[in-house]
Structure 1
């Protein structure tokens, strides 16, 4: 079996292991294995292939991994998804809202709405702020 094919298989094994570990270390080793494969493809000796593997892996671990890890962590902290992204937005009352019933429109979506405070009422056309969402009900308050 040619050496380049062994390096390619090793890269695939490292990449597959990365899927299980999700630590971005084995992925860097997969890149190193591709470096060893490249040297093997141009006819370099086994010692040079191993040196290429070590150098490329070390470079990827030192340079690329910290950047990738920081980028992934920053996106996770900033990202809001689902209904959490709606809290704080404004909506327009489409059916009178009190603490027992009502509806608001956010963009093209119609939501059942309630107020958090007893006695608080918002009439049709009023602009309100979404303060909380529980299931299908948006709790609204004054802007």
Structure 2
């Protein structure tokens, strides 16, 4: 078997191992093995192939992996799902008490409770959505009278 074919097999095994472990290291080693295989396919000697693999591996682990890990850890730029509702304005459709109520948030009707359990928010009030607890919006009045319990 020619050396470049062995490099391709090593690259395939490392790629498969990366899919199973998700370490970001084995995939970079697979890319380095692919580069070494390409070097062998171009007719370079095994010493050059090993050097390409070593340089590619070091460059991937030392340079590319930290950058990739930093990008993976960043929070998403666009909030979605219930996280997108936090901070939005809501309009109460019924009186909202510790026992419950209804509010309209962005065109959808939600069950609601006051964020402060001692408040009673009257129907027709404008509120802020401070949190989502399951399928219930926790609201706090923007301005105006809030009647204590």
Q: TM-score range by the shorter chain?
A: 0.7 to 0.9
The one-character-per-residue Cα deviations of 1:21-49 (angstroms, maximum 9, x if unpaired) are 32211111111101101101211111211
Which aligned runs of 4 or more in structure 1 are off by greater than 6 angstroms? none
* 1:52-85 CA-partner distances (Å, limit 9, x unpaired): 1111111111211111111112237x88664344
Unmatched segments (≥5 aa) in structure 2: 143-149
Relative distance call for 1:136 and 1:75 in structure 2 (3 A) is closer
CA 1:99–1:56 in 2, change beyond 3 Å: closer, same or farther? Answer: same
Once residues 134 and 63 of structure 1 are traced to their aligned partners in structure 2, the CA distance between those partners, rounded to angstroms, is: 41
Greater alpha carbon shift after TM alignment, 60-69 vs 90-99? 90-99
Whether 1:38 aligns to 2:4 is no
**Which structure shows the bigger proportion of residues in helix conformation?**
1
Question: How many residues matched?
Answer: 141
CA RMSD across the alignment: 2.3
CA distance in 2, matches of 1:119, 1:38: 70
User: 1:119 and 1:69, CA in 2 relative to 1: closer, same or farther beyond 3 A?
Assistant: closer
**What is the CA–CA distance in structure 2 between the aligned matches of 1:75 and 1:140, rounded to whole Å?**
25
Per-residue CA deviations over 1:94-143 (Å, capped at 9, x if unaligned) read 3332333321122132211122333522322x321122332222121112
Secondary structure of the 2:87 match is coil
CA distance in 1, matches of 2:117, 2:97: 8
- 2:129 alignment counterpart: 130
Counterpart residue number, 2:145: none
Partner of 2:43, secondary structure, is: coil
Gaps of 5+ in 1: none
Q: What is the distance in 1 between the residues matched to 2:57 and 2:81? A: 38
